[in-house]
Structure 1
Amino acid sequence: MTLISLLKRPYIYILSLVSSFAIAQSATIPITTNDHALVLKTDQQGRLRTVYFGEPLHSSSEYEAISSLYHFDDANDGIYNAAYTPSGTWSLTEPAIEVKHADGNSALELKYLSHSQKPQSDASIETRILLKDPLYDFNVTLVYKAWEAENVIEQWTEIQHKENGAVMLEKYASADLYFTGDNFYLTSYHGRWAKEMQCKEEKLENGRKIIDSKLGTRAMLLQSPNFILSFDQPASENEGKVILGQLAWSGNFKLDFEVDTYDNLKFLAGINPYSSTYALPANQVFKTPSLIYAISNHGTGEASRGLHRWARNYRVLDGQGERLTLLNNWEATYFDFDEDKITGLFKDAKELGIDMFLLDDGWFANKYPRNSDRSGLGDWQENVKKLPSGIGHLVKEATKEGIKFGIWIEPEMVNPKSELYEQHLDWVIRQPDRPEVYYRNQLVLDLSNPEVQDFVFGVVDKLFTENPQLAFIKWDCNAVIYNAYSAYLAEQELPQSQLYVDYVKGLYAVLERVRAKYPKVPIMLCSGGGGRGDYEALRYFTEFWPSDDTDPLERIFMQWDYSYFFPSVVTCNHVTDWGKQPIKFRVDVASMGKLGFDIVFSHLSEDEKAFCKQAVKNYDRFKEIIWHGDQYRLVNPHENDFSAVMYVNESKEKAVFFGYFISQRQRLITDKEPIKFNGLDPEKQYTVKEINLFPGKRSPLDSEKVYSGDFLMKAGYNPMINAGRTSVVLEIEER
């Protein structure tokens, strides 16, 4: 055994090796951020346990003593606080991993072998812990990446073996966490089309709470892999210990929360094992998706700001970059358009002052023209009747108007009424002997098949090859997987149970190729709304579409709930004709993210046009604060008759405030008290000016008065939000 130790903080390097399991190996492994510590320790049998989850100790040497304070062994169940619980041997608690070895045996033991901790180029410290079965040549590596300043941890598992034949992975969680405490509160999110991210908070009681998806694609449609876990009290914006987390995976997921007989919480997260047994050949590594979580001792606001900074700096594609404002034709034309109608909309985009025009669904297919969602999907050639001069002509005409041009695709899907379906039925996920089941009149292509991966990449590559000035892609994904069966896996004599996993791996393989050739082109991740939005996909996409429900009143709630997990730079918000609110209200709500329009601009009144043009100019002035500043949720719409959010830039010189009257009770008085701001410098002096005023309207607020940051955060400010002033936008600047 050798041991090398360099204990100078903040970086700890440890390497320890054992040549056999005859003597239990001892190790204490702290995984720390600035404000938190997760401590793992081996027991006398060499099994790894979670012994601490809390504020970091001043002296790292004292982590060694923590394990003696807790006693969670139970002869009937096993070890409750195992860091990665195996199945079939000493534990009867819910396992993190279940396997069938090459010889058919289902028992697994995992004991500590070694670990290392090293700084990475992305400012994280990566901890790798190797566990091994004493009887089988089967290894599991637990990997943790910790970003100190952001208080964010990303963890996953790598599984490998050298057995004589494939090992069947029947369950393979990404994380197995254990928390001690008195009470635990879970906020989870459910939904359906146009009703995504509907929140529910509940106290976790003894037993198991499971959140999962079995949809295959568009996995977030009914349940979300995002969660808030709060300790000892319900989640609060500025108080209490909380975890904001997400399983970063674009397919079936499972989150398992269990309050055990000691009233502590065991949490498992990973790919849903439902119909997903995976055959792992010898010497190959199976890497699970990442569980990503931000930790705060001071409420959800601090946690989400840390997660936002982490996402912008280290995960989202071009997270520190610009985004394009746009005009989309979908709600203006749906499938009914031609070349002249589209080029006519370019003038609207130019007059409005936005960056780009986006051509949505309906531009392709000839034998089975895409005139509805019932045909043409999969046949990615321009429809010669609608667009006789092709996409290239539209790109040139948009360029003449001084705007960019983007386009919609849905390359993972196919209509049964299409040439692709007729020519490549073997590329379609379907049971060959059963009736087909459709979602939005379409089926899913089999991305486990390398030929299908080539086809999907080719759809994107052809568009850019033929139109080098193409500036933007909207990538949609509307269908879920019914009748799961892959002709390709059958041909390769691989288990059909691999389809759900291999589909997502195939998708990521395509996206890797796209980004290798087109690294900078902005691409929106759309999935019939918010059916797909996770931090693994956002490695490849610059933004995502939260919901097809663009009613601004509903969007206030959705955007609030999405904001716990995602920075505003990745959320696409469009002004549409949904809802009954005036154009000002709609534009103000959409400005809290990446602004877009999906209206017929020429149909607006002159005052509405003037307002929109000025609002776009205002947005161009403050969008950097929205995209890259810190967000502070001030007044919760779930608990009040009005809502308020503000964004503050890094230097605290500028901020933007958004407030909305959301009550249907028109006589309700909501402007009787001030709203306390947050995030400002108490020593700085600020002016507060109302912007986005409708033509002919005057603000009742004094834009010349000067306030200290201390005053605005302690005494507050009254923006006069009421039934006559339903949306208020304030620009706060250092004097």
Structure 2
Amino acid sequence: MKQLILSATLLLLAPQIEAAEHKVLRISTNQTDLILQVGDNGRLYQTYLGEKLLNDEDINRFTWYQHPGSDGSISQRGWEVYSGSGNEDFFEPAIAITHNNGKTSTYLYYVSSSTQAIDGGIETTINLRDDKYPIDVTLHYVAYPKENVIKTWSEIKHQEKKPITLTKYASTMLYFCNSAYYLTEFSSDWAKEAQMTSQQLQFGKKIVDTKLGSRAAMIAHPFFEVGLDQPVAENIGKVLMGTLGWTGNFRFTFEVDNTGNLRVIPSINPYASNYQLPANEVFTTPEFIFTLSYNGSSEGSRNLHEWARNYSLKDGKGTRLTLLNNWENTGFNFNQEILANLMKEAKHLGVDMFLLDDGWFANKYPRDNDKSGLGDWEVNNSKLPGGIPALVDAAKEADVKFGIWIEPEMVNPKSELFEKHPDWAIHDDNRAMYFYRNQLVLDLSNPAVQDYVYSIVEKILKENPDIAYFKWDCNSPITNIYSPYLKDKQGNLYIDHIRGVYNVFKRVKEKFPNVPMMLCSGGGSRCDYEALKYFTEFWCSDNTDPIERLYIQWGFSQFFPAKSMCAHVTSWNKNTSIKFRTDVASMCKLGFDLSLKELSPEELTYCQTAVNNWKRFTPAIMEGDQYRLVSPYQSNHMAVNYVSKDRQLAVLFTYDIYPRFQEKLLNVKLQGLDPSQKYKVTEINLMPGQISTLEANGKTFSGDYLMKVGLKAFRANHTQSRVIELIAE
């Protein structure tokens, strides 16, 4: 009977495969073509990925099997778009399945495809099916023509009687045939995020991955750049820039085969994640977002920035709040009166909001340090007898908005929550517990835990609807790995936990769509475009030393727009001036985290002026185009400029980090200006009484001159900065 059913299925499938022979699918932006073709064998292959072809008839000139073999002959294998494990392809597959009968091969054949218009782009959907097993894979590609960005993901489902086991599940596969490949990756640690290193990819596999479960990007970030034919450069050369929308364990596989071709495979990391998938349930992989720039990484970054603001950043076109945070000032040691006075300081500084950080909650086990109270989200009566309502009222009296810190995915073992629900925490009772920052991760694969985490936010906002902002933290990776809820499906934990996290984010956004939120994870360990659908911004690093921040912000700016990147002025590295620290923070979403009492009257006046200037330049910094001009990795200086969309307003930031004795100082050549427009150049963000030494100050130049000749903006002294406005006349 089973054989009859399978034969009938194959009879139904065979005509579809035959009818699909040589079908060509074109996925296009205004600058890039991704061309797929059904081969003679009914399977789907990539035949081209590169600059957009001008003539439509040329898309049919490619052959699915055209790639040369190791002996110079033509390979009949081709570049299969979603290659299965156990087939005749000898390299890393996109999908691997163990079927009910214990067999492990997967061959996927083209069935059908369709296209539809979506907001800003075109979605192409492609249906594939195994010819021997009831396995279906649906590939999705969304092309955003104007932004030159493509995002892609896959869906896997089956109709076998028992669950199948997925051991690989890539979002996509991309192939390249170039003379050489150069990878730029972004390593990380606490206070050392987005550190850029490069290497040439040689024969074999290079894998970038993380196995932390939660706070997953603490060691490696989920984005990369590949220079094609030459190393990645800012303004020249072809570069692939890709990022995975996944805040859990990820893996990027870069495999150079024996003939010098490269395949790039972005995916959830299958480490400890043999996933049991029941029949008719859909396994959806994360979105992989990429752009191909033909003029270096700077252009690729602007593609991604524009795409993010338009389609994948919560309130991407909205305003952002400047703020004063209390953490560096008070730590856990505060009370209602201290906070009320800080709110007045926020108003005096000129920022929009006061943000209360960690330490405001828990009574049985008070949150006086990081060893207790996490999970018990009632206001600490000793510190704050008036509760959150009194803080909201104090903020109103000070005429600033009020925001608050939470870390609802975590629990201290020393808490009422853990006493009541130890089974809600990921941990193995058979082993001594290992704590990271004295806490454990709540098991978000459990729907009851998801409900609890969501209820924390809902309760706070229902009782205090005037709360204007949440800082949502996540300080621990998963340790003591075991889910009491999943029992015999532990291979599902790393994946279902992250899906549970996203489910909570989604519920919060649906119920409270207008509340801005900062994504934080012990610094910058959460930085993905799936989470940023629910957050307006993210915290780049706990390291606010301005020198280190130049490197951190340079790295993150490769993939994220300035309005999504929080940067605060603090007391870190007091060897630098308050001007230098503020100017560094001003190139992102500006905030402060220090006591105004630390500042002299002149320093306070400077900060107030800098806040006002930052708000004036929102059309350029927050909404405009960013141009990275001088890299701190390649010089003793750094420079970045922003230009408004109408090119009537620009702002240039220059930083002298550690110039060498009598080193040659080069002009800073701006980018993105209107060459025919005249711009008045003025140095701003000056200390009270400071007179600009910029030769061009107060003068007018053409955009052409400013881009070809530039300004003498660098100086020879350590840790100095300039902020220069350019206004069209």
Give TM-score, length-normalised by structure 2.
Answer: 0.96
Give matches, 1:570-589, under 5 Å.
Answer: 570-579=564-573, 580-589=575-584
Q: Does 1:207 align with 2:200?
A: no
Quote the offset at 1:136 in angstroms: 1.2
Q: Does 1:138 align with 2:138?
A: no
- Asked if 1 retains the 8 angstrom alpha-carbon contact of 2:523 and 2:539, the reply is yes
Quote the offset at 1:673 in angstroms: 2.9
CA distance in 1, matches of 2:19, 2:697: 74
Paired position in structure 2 for 1:189 = 186
Paired position in structure 1 for 2:597 = 602
Q: Does 1:715 align with 2:713?
A: no
CA distance in 1, matches of 2:96, 2:68: 22
Q: Does 1:505 align with 2:503?
A: no
CA distance in 2, matches of 1:438, 1:547: 22
Paired position in structure 2 for 1:625 = 620
CA distance in 1, matches of 2:536, 2:462: 21
CA distance in 1, matches of 2:76, 2:453: 48
Q: Does 1:691 align with 2:689?
A: no
Paired position in structure 1 for 2:527 = 533
**One-letter amino acid of the structure 1 residue matched with residue 679 of structure 2:** Y
CA distance in 2, matches of 1:217, 1:512: 18
Paired position in structure 1 for 2:4 = none
* Match 1:662 to one of 647, 657, 661: 657
- Asked if 2 retains the 8 angstrom alpha-carbon contact of 1:312 and 1:320, the reply is yes
- Asked if 2 retains the 8 angstrom alpha-carbon contact of 1:191 and 1:221, the reply is yes
- Asked if 2 retains the 8 angstrom alpha-carbon contact of 1:655 and 1:732, the reply is yes
Q: Does 1:90 align with 2:85?
A: no
CA distance in 2, matches of 1:559, 1:299: 18
The alignment partner of 2:427 has SS state of coil
CA distance in 2, matches of 1:20, 1:51: 21
Q: Does 1:147 align with 2:141?
A: no
Give matches, 1:629-668, under 5 Å.
Answer: 629-663=624-658, 665=660, 667-668=661-662
Q: Does 1:325 align with 2:322?
A: yes
Give matches, 1:200-239, under 5 Å.
Answer: 200-239=197-236
- Asked if 1 retains the 8 angstrom alpha-carbon contact of 2:94 and 2:168, the reply is yes
Quote the offset at 1:725 in angstroms: 7.7
* Match 1:348 to one of 345, 349, 354: 345
**One-letter amino acid of the structure 2 residue matched with residue 295 of structure 1:** L
Deviations 1:328-378 (A, max 9, x none): 000100011111111111111111000000000000011111010000000
Deviations 1:478-502 (A, max 9, x none): 0011121111111xxx511100000
Deviations 1:633-686 (A, max 9, x none): 011110011110000000000000000001164x3445x432111000001011
Paired position in structure 2 for 1:548 = 542
- Asked if 2 retains the 8 angstrom alpha-carbon contact of 1:676 and 1:716, the reply is yes
**One-letter amino acid of the structure 1 residue matched with residue 480 of structure 2:** N
Change (3 A) 1:58 1:22: closer
**One-letter amino acid of the structure 1 residue matched with residue 352 of structure 2:** D
Paired position in structure 1 for 2:670 = 677
CA distance in 2, matches of 1:703, 1:210: 49
Paired position in structure 2 for 1:5 = none
- Asked if 2 retains the 8 angstrom alpha-carbon contact of 1:25 and 1:113, the reply is no
Give matches, 1:374-389, under 5 Å.
Answer: 374-389=371-386
- Asked if 2 retains the 8 angstrom alpha-carbon contact of 1:659 and 1:721, the reply is no
CA distance in 2, matches of 1:257, 1:320: 35
- Asked if 2 retains the 8 angstrom alpha-carbon contact of 1:721 and 1:728, the reply is no
CA distance in 1, matches of 2:645, 2:239: 24
CA distance in 2, matches of 1:324, 1:24: 53
**One-letter amino acid of the structure 1 residue matched with residue 297 of structure 2:** T
Paired position in structure 2 for 1:615 = 610
- Asked if 2 retains the 8 angstrom alpha-carbon contact of 1:25 and 1:112, the reply is no
Give TM-score, length-normalised by structure 1.
Answer: 0.95
CA distance in 1, matches of 2:241, 2:34: 15
Quote the offset at 1:103 in angstroms: 2.8
Q: Does 1:54 align with 2:50?
A: yes
- Asked if 2 retains the 8 angstrom alpha-carbon contact of 1:350 and 1:401, the reply is yes
CA distance in 2, matches of 1:429, 1:643: 44
Give matches, 1:559-574, under 5 Å.
Answer: 559-574=553-568
The alignment partner of 1:174 has SS state of coil
CA distance in 1, matches of 2:396, 2:374: 28
The alignment partner of 2:307 has SS state of helix
CA distance in 2, matches of 1:656, 1:696: 22
Paired position in structure 1 for 2:423 = 426
Structure 2: stretches of 5+ with no match in the other structure:
1-12
Quote the offset at 1:312 in angstroms: 0.1
Q: Does 1:39 align with 2:35?
A: yes
Quote the offset at 1:24 in angstroms: 6.5
**One-letter amino acid of the structure 1 residue matched with residue 44 of structure 2:** L
CA distance in 1, matches of 2:32, 2:87: 33
CA distance in 2, matches of 1:19, 1:325: 61
CA distance in 2, matches of 1:268, 1:668: 48
Change (3 A) 1:279 1:114: same
Quote the offset at 1:561 in angstroms: 1.0
CA distance in 2, matches of 1:329, 1:204: 45
Q: Size of the alignment, in residue pairs?
A: 714
Q: Bigger shift: 53-62 or 478-487? A: 53-62
Deviations 1:285-309 (A, max 9, x none): 1110011011111111111101100
Deviations 1:570-615 (A, max 9, x none): 0000000111210000000000111000001122111111111111
CA distance in 2, matches of 1:668, 1:395: 54
Sequence identity of aligned pairs in percent?
49
**One-letter amino acid of the structure 2 residue matched with residue 508 of structure 1:** Y
Quote the offset at 1:102 in angstroms: 2.5
CA distance in 1, matches of 2:407, 2:662: 46
CA distance in 2, matches of 1:570, 1:78: 46
- Asked if 1 retains the 8 angstrom alpha-carbon contact of 2:624 and 2:642, the reply is yes
Quote the offset at 1:21 in angstroms: 4.3
- Asked if 1 retains the 8 angstrom alpha-carbon contact of 2:469 and 2:517, the reply is yes
- Asked if 1 retains the 8 angstrom alpha-carbon contact of 2:655 and 2:714, the reply is no
Paired position in structure 1 for 2:8 = none
CA distance in 1, matches of 2:429, 2:310: 46
Give matches, 1:431-580, under 5 Å.
Answer: 431-490=428-487, 494-579=488-573, 580=575
**One-letter amino acid of the structure 2 residue matched with residue 663 of structure 1:** Y
The alignment partner of 2:170 has SS state of strand
**One-letter amino acid of the structure 2 residue matched with residue 331 of structure 1:** E
CA distance in 2, matches of 1:93, 1:273: 17
Q: CA RMSD in A?
A: 1.7
CA distance in 1, matches of 2:460, 2:138: 41
CA distance in 2, matches of 1:720, 1:512: 46
- Asked if 2 retains the 8 angstrom alpha-carbon contact of 1:24 and 1:45, the reply is no
- Asked if 1 retains the 8 angstrom alpha-carbon contact of 2:637 and 2:659, the reply is no
**One-letter amino acid of the structure 2 residue matched with residue 532 of structure 1:** R
**One-letter amino acid of the structure 2 residue matched with residue 404 of structure 1:** K
Quote the offset at 1:26 in angstroms: 2.4
CA distance in 1, matches of 2:65, 2:105: 31
CA distance in 2, matches of 1:416, 1:372: 13
The alignment partner of 2:524 has SS state of coil
Quote the offset at 1:720 in angstroms: 4.2
**One-letter amino acid of the structure 1 residue matched with residue 85 of structure 2:** S
CA distance in 2, matches of 1:147, 1:22: 32
CA distance in 2, matches of 1:721, 1:318: 39
* Match 2:108 to one of 105, 110, 114: 110
Change (3 A) 1:461 1:45: same
CA distance in 2, matches of 1:18, 1:553: 63
Change (3 A) 1:50 1:552: same
**One-letter amino acid of the structure 1 residue matched with residue 196 of structure 2:** C
The alignment partner of 1:154 has SS state of strand
CA distance in 2, matches of 1:732, 1:479: 44
The alignment partner of 2:46 has SS state of strand
Paired position in structure 1 for 2:61 = 65
